[in-house]
Every structure is written in structure tokens, then in C-alpha cells.
Amino acid sequence: MSGRHHLVAACLVAACSGARSGDDFDAAVVEPPADAAPPIPGRLTINEIAAAGEPADWFEVTNVGSDAIDLAGYTFTDDPAIPDQALFPDGTTVAPGELRVFWVDDDEAGFALGSDEELAVFGPDGQVADSVDWDEGESPDGGSFARVPDGQGAFITLEVSTPGEPNGP
């Protein structure tokens, strides 16, 4: 009996962090976010977090609705038991589809993001607008934990963070 050759499907994990092709994510199957609730139009959406950010931690928000969101009265926190741990800067609005970055450090927020932590944004009505929970290693040095595609997708680890720019693998 001759040896049979089977085609072995090699499972390649593409480490394409340098790719900047941008608009190529629409073929991806979008699963419901495992680490965050689905975005709610009209409420601010957390789009990306960098828990090992340089020179400081930061998070990026976006607006999946069709009207600008005024951040007056919005707060953010790493402890949902204390919703108003930090306020957004006065006069900040986020246009539909805009990607806006806020620093999270002792000066700007009074806290920083830990490697195994969560971030929640509360609306002026005191309700959670969005929140995300990450584990050790999911937001590595130089990388981030981000919705792909922007505003809608589940959070995944990006090896290269994209502050103020569209999230890509």
C-alpha cells in the first residue's frame, strides 16, 4: 500500500500588524461583543483602550448614532461602583463616526488603567453608556484592546494601537 498524502491545512496566524490597508475588515464575521455590551446608538461607545499606553494610558470613543453627542454630564471610571470618578473635558462633543482619544492617568483622570481591569462610561442619566472588561495580556505594551470593526465589533487585541485612527488587526 502506497503512502497516502493528505493535504494538511496549515493554520497560519497572520501577524500583519504593519498592514494599513484600512477598509478591508468588512469580510470579517462580526460576533456579538463578548467583553462588552452591544453599542447603543445615541450613547457614547468605547472603541479602544490602551492599558499599557505610552506616554500614558488612554481610551478612544466613537459615536455610532447619527447625531453629535455632547459629553456634558458623561463620566468614566475603572470602578462602576464609583461612576463619576472622572469627567470629560468641558465642551467636548463627538460627531457621528468620530474617533476621539482621552488620556487616563493620575493628572487627567485621577487613575490609570490596569492590565486586568475594566472601564465604564456613564451617561448624564447615570446609566452605563458602554463598558469593557479586559484580562491580563489583552492590552499589551504598544497594543490595545479594540472593537473591530470600529464601533460595532467585538473587542480583540491589537498588537499595534490606533489612537484616533480606525481599528485594524
Nearer to Ca ion, 60 or 130 (CB): 60
Q: Does 162 bind Ca ion (CB under 5 A)?
A: yes
> Cell for 136?
491580563
Looking at residue 148, its amino acid is V
Among 45, 75, 77, 167, binds Ca ion (CB under 5 A): 167
Asked if 138 contacts 87 with a C-beta cutoff of 8 angstroms, the reply is: no
Nearer to Ca ion, 106 or 125 (CB): 106
Instruction: Scan residues 24-53 and list those touching Ca ion (CB under 5 A).
Output: 48, 51
CB 18 to Ca ion: min, Å: 16
Distance of CA 75 to the CA centre of its chain: 17
Among 113, 120, 121, 156, binds Ca ion (CB under 5 A): 113
SS3 93: strand
Q: Does 61 bind Ca ion (CB under 5 A)?
A: no
Q: Which residues bind Ca ion (CB under 5 A)?
A: 48, 51, 57, 60, 112-113, 162, 167
